[in-house]
Chains A and B, each alone.
Chain A
Amino acid sequence: MDEKIPFWRDDRVLKIIGQVIAVVVFVTVMLILGSNIARNFQSLGITFGFGFLRRAASFGIGDTPIPYTPSDSYGRAVLVGLVNSLRVMILGIILATVVGIAVGVARLSDNWLLKQIAGIYVELFRNTPLLLQLFCWYFAVFLNLPGDLENPPRLPGPIFLTQRGVDMPWPDGTLQTWLSVAFLLISAVLAFIIWRRRTTAMVQRGESGRSLQMILIGIGVLALLALIFGLQWDRPNLSEGAITDGLNLSPEFGAVLFGLIFYTAAFIAEVVRAGIQSVTKGQWEAARALGLRPTLAMRLVIFPQALRVMIPPLTSEYLNLAKNSSLAIAVGYADVYATSFTTSNQTGRTIEMILILMATYLTINLIISLGMNTFNRSVQMKER
């Protein structure tokens, strides 16, 4: 067997050759595409560059979470779009997770009605196109809210629901607001630490935990006071057929957000159901044998184990939500895709703007992946 194998039959050599050829072909195709673009640019007399981003945009944007006027630059306009996109993505991911987990658990409920409703919801939202759902939310739901601004429906708060969106109270953004926010954050961390201590004391040392409970209640009352009076709520005012002050969430924003939440939540519900069902029945029985109530068994025994299976598919649902948010342009929401395309159309810089868009979505999704992978490592089984 010392005989030398001819190289065309040597598996190791063939593998290397195959990979070299693959790289060569990839580079060639890229070069052809690149030179093609360069030649076309040359023949049309267009130059490549990003300097145009500093020119005045001179188009308006409906939703401006950060200050913007038409005399600002194209770069600023794209940035406004990016903030709008992130607003929808972050809120969408949080709320879709909440709805998805609730529906996923409901699908496994012993309650027949709950189970059926959850099942119908999942099938309905999972099997219709997202674009259709966005149009449905926008034209059938949000634009059918009362258009009459003289006497709009008023929810406690006050929160107004009208055709121009949802108007609700919102913190004013003064120094006092930020101090209150800081106070709320600190007290939340403090309360969490005390709660952990109290549980340890009760479980391991058999103490009553009464004194720590009193401290927790005290923190809760202070936090509630800070929430109501400290934040300086700016309440919407209704006067002469116009609503001023407060926070206005446009119907476009609402349609995109609701569309993304309920579409993605249907998929997340299935991920949750699969995760829970992957935990063996013995775990349920063992939890019950210990005397845990079903809700406690779910929270303490089943769900942590289900998380191991759920997180990888959950990551791709989050990535999908982030990418799907680019459909916002269909219902007139000025996300990064919409503002970039307006920019590319006004300046004719299509290739540059597509590169910017690709880099933007890639960055956002890589950050989501990174976060989820870190979370995934923390819940995986620790082999010792």
Chain B
Amino acid sequence: MSKWGSLLLAMMLAVAPIAACSSSSDTAGTEEGEGASGHLSTVLGRGSLVCGVNGQLPGFSFVNETGEYSGLDVDVCKAIAAAMFDDPEAVEYRNLSAQERFTAVQSGEIDVLIRNTTWTISRDTSVGMEFAPTTFYDGQGMMVPVASGVEDLEGLAGKSICVQSGTTTELNLTDQMRKIGAEFTPIVFDDEDAVYAAYAQGRCQGVTSDRSQLTARRETLAAPDEHVVLDVVMSKEPLGPAVANGDTQWSDAVKWITYALIQAEEFGITSENIAEFENSEDPSIRTFLGLEGSLGSDMGLPNDFTARAIRAVGNYGEIYERNIGEPFGLERGPNELWTNGGLLYAPPFR
């Protein structure tokens, strides 16, 4: 029995320093000086970015044939990593389900969440998120088999509709159907692949999600021509990066790196012609690229963070064409620059 006692004692001794450690490191974290502090300094010190992504959504984030992550969301991750470390590959990707994502941000498991996440008031406030600018203006749509002859939401009354759990789409669908007074049976899955597998097998007469996602997923069905994305838009779905509330330096960094991609398109700076722009005499471009002034270093980032990001992944237009425009033939629509009648608008870099 004394053997047991001493074993226990040894265990206690082993645990004690861990307990002491966790409390002391907390105080150290809050008392650090200016420059890069808080989460930004943690990330810069670590040398890599932990990015929460979807991982199952073609066009936004998925593993391509060569085994690498690609997509619009992934490119924003890469842009942030490039801006900080000048290395777009210094990213650790975490695949997250719709349900895990906010907990992953709150607990600090990931640095930034770029997982086609809709910006809503409750997520911004009570869930404790801080949203960076929208990188994709989406709307919720509905896909049905052509053979069903359904043309609008009323046609789905009394039918089953497949939807992923824990998404805004689940709520929007319920609200829209209540508004038109149509009863329906929601079939809710945790896993996105299961949603489309059940739809493909005919369990539900419709599947709802963001229109971009439906368009991308339609291509992966056995016979894409037998399915149609209805011409209804049920909601506004501004998708963008999100970080945890309460650390403005970190959220500012993510916010302005994202804006830089949009501003670069407005200036016409691409990953190919950036070298020419570096010889530019235009003061606003020189300030933007970090050749003059101290926009970057004032925020605790490298002064040329915009140039690094653009060199790595290109401007917003390039990212869109590469991931969404070319593979799925989706028009830019609201995702055009404000100068072209779209919604993308970056505040001035000065």
Contacts and interface: CB of A to CB of B under 8 A. Distances in A.
A14 B202 contact: no
B197 A139 contact: yes
Q: How large is the interface on B (under 10, 10 to 19, 20 to 34, 35 or more residues)?
A: 35 or more
B174 A70 contact: yes
A348 B102 contact: yes
26 contacts: A18-B5, A21-B9, A22-B12, A25-B11, A43-B246, A44-B245, A45-B245, A58-B171, A58-B175, A60-B174, A60-B177, A60-B185, A62-B185, A70-B175, A70-B178, A144-B201, A329-B165, A329-B189, A330-B191, A332-B189, A334-B188, A341-B165, A341-B166, A342-B165, A348-B123, A348-B126
A41 to B, nearest CB: 9
A342 B170 contact: yes
Interface of B: 1-2, 4-6, 8-9, 11-12, 15, 19, 22-23, 26, 98-99, 102-103, 106-107, 122-123, 126-128, 158, 160, 162, 165-166, 170-171, 173-175, 177-178, 184-191, 194, 197-198, 201-203, 244-246
A29 B18 CA distance: 10
A345 interface: yes
B103 A60 contact: no
A344 interface: yes
Contact of A39 (B26, B123, B184, B189): B26
A131 B246 CA distance: 39
Contact of B5 (A17, A329, A334, A344): A17
Contacts of A350: 102-103, 106
B5 A342 contact: no
Contact of A329 (B11, B127, B190, B198): B190
A277 interface: no
A331 B32 CA distance: 49
A147 B201 CA distance: 9
Contact of A61 (B9, B128, B186, B197): B186
Contact of B187 (A22, A29, A62, A348): A62
A61 B198 CA distance: 17
Nearest to A345: B166
A346 B99 CA distance: 9
Nearest 3 CB-CB pairings of A with B: A348-B127, A345-B166, A44-B128
Contacts of A310: none
Contacts of B158: 242
Interface string A48-70: 00000000001111100000001
A285 B28 CA distance: 77
B158 to A, nearest CB: 7
Contacts of B98: 345
A164 interface: yes
A75 B128 CA distance: 22
A60 B126 contact: no
Nearest to A63: B185
A29 B175 CA distance: 45
Contact of A143 (B9, B15, B185, B201): B201
A167 interface: no
A15 B1 CA distance: 7
A134 to B, nearest CB: 11
A60 B184 contact: yes
A138 B123 CA distance: 34
B40 to A, nearest CB: 16
Contacts of A330: 189-191, 194
Interface in A279-297: none
A338 B188 CA distance: 9
A67 to B, nearest CB: 13
A347 B171 CA distance: 12
Interface centre among A17, A43, A59, A331 (most CB of B within 10 A): A59
Interface in A304-360: 329-332, 334, 338, 341-342, 344-348, 350
A199 B73 CA distance: 76
Contact of B186 (A29, A45, A62): A62
B187, B198, B246 interface centre (most CB from chain A within 10 Å): B187
Given A45-B128, A350-B103, A252 B190 contact: no
A14 B1 contact: yes
B166 A60 contact: no
A163 B205 CA distance: 11
A251 B187 CA distance: 10
Contacts of A331: 189, 194
A11 interface: yes
A102 to B, nearest CB: 31
Contacts of A9: 2
B301 to A, nearest CB: 23
A29 B15 contact: yes
Nearest to B163: A60
Contact of A25 (B12, B185, B191): B12
B186 A58 contact: no
Contacts of B127: 347-348
Interface in A5-59: 9, 11, 14-15, 17-18, 21-22, 25, 28-29, 32, 36, 39-40, 43-46, 58-59
Contacts of B11: 25
Given A329-B190, A346-B166, A350-B103, A25 B244 contact: no
Given A32-B22, A40-B107, A345-B166, A11 B194 contact: no
Contacts of A346: 122, 166, 171
Nearest to B175: A58
